[in-house]
Copies of this chain bind each other. A is one copy, B any other.
Amino acid sequence: MSNAYHPPSALFCRQCGHALERRIPDDGDSKLRGVCPACATIHYDNPLCVVGTVPTWGATGEQVLLCQRNIEPRKGKWTLPAGFLELGETTAAGAARETDEEAGASIEMGELFTLMNVARVGQVHFYYRARLLSEHFNPGPESMQARLFTESEIPWDELAFSTVRQTLRRYFDDRRQGRFGFHTEDIV
């Protein structure tokens, strides 16, 4: 996850570079937007999608792969591999890419497991279950290390994001019950 916060609203027009006005557009909209007085382009601030995986290892998925972050925010904290969805990719493809980039892990992609709204920071988080095909990892520059944890070994107080904590809790709860569901949650 490279830049974890939403960018500030635009001050200048993306199309012509003119300084924007902050006002309600004349097209029936009801919200303040950056409107260009020169070329009329309207600038919307939209939530971002964050996509990642819960990569598991072992006959019953008893170990989960976490990455120790090598970048801010939360440098040194542990996270599931995840990052911003890029234009042109599906949420599953983005989750696979981030797993490769951050952990260098080979996976077989599974089902969507959690969908979490973090409205406070304008994000929607998607985590897919994934089966690791090897226990050899090759973490990229965004990670200090990548390693496997059993439930009791998880550094619960050293996790980078609440969506990671909640997704891991759900994973081990479902695993105990022998059945993996799909979970939605609003993080406040």
Contacts and interface: CB of A to CB of B under 8 A. Distances in A.
A153 interface: no
A67 interface: no
Interface string A12-29: 111111110000000111
Contacts of A87: 6, 45-47, 122
Contacts of A7: 14, 44
A19 B84 CA distance: 25
A48 interface: yes
Contacts of A47: 49, 85-87
Interface of A: 2, 6-8, 10-19, 27-29, 31, 43-49, 84-93, 111-112, 115, 117, 119-120, 122, 124, 140-142, 182, 184, 186
7 A-B pairs with least C-beta separation: A12-B17, A10-B14, A90-B117, A17-B17, A87-B122, A45-B87, A90-B119
